[in-house]
Amino acid sequence: MRRGTKSIEEYLTNGGWSSHLFLETAKTLLTDRDITRRTEFEYFRSVIYLRSQGKLLKAYVHHNGRSKEYLTFTDESGSEVHTFHYTTPALVIKRFVIDYFSELL
């Protein structure tokens, strides 16, 4: 996998760039022990990669022309897995991430 060009600190300092509506959700996911103990993150300006169990999940806003109000997760091949509106509670998105990688065991 490519080396991320950004760091968590830069992501947070810049308010999440175009994913600013999901900043609080990102903070929840990136600091959650259930997720961080088994998931590696890479930060880019327009995507965050989550790797766990040998699989990759990509998180985008604006995917396929959607507005910044939507966060889309795709798999390694780029196929859409799930899309969330920014009003979705962080815990729902957290559960999705945990369940997605758990299904791969």
Query: pLDDT tens-digit profile of 72-81?
Result: 999 999 999 9
> How confident is the model at residue 105, as a pLDDT?
45
> How confident is the model at residue 68, as a pLDDT?
92
E-strand spans in 1-105?
40-43, 47-52, 55-61, 70-75, 80-85
Q: Is the distance from CB of 103 to CB of 55 less than 8 angstroms?
A: no
Q: For residues 36 and 45, what is the distance between their CA atoms, to the nearest angstrom?
A: 20
Looking at residue 103, its amino acid is E
- Sequence ranges of the domains in the chain: 8-102
Query: pLDDT tens for residues 41-69?
Result: 988 878 899 999 899 999 999 888 899 99
> How confident is the model at residue 13, as a pLDDT?
84
Binning the chain into helix, strand and coil, the percentages to the nearest 5 are 40, 30, 30
Q: For residues 2 and 81, what is the distance between their CA atoms, to the nearest angstrom?
A: 21
Of 1.20.58, 3.40.720, 2.40.10, 3.30.920, which CATH number belongs to 8-102? Answer: 3.30.920
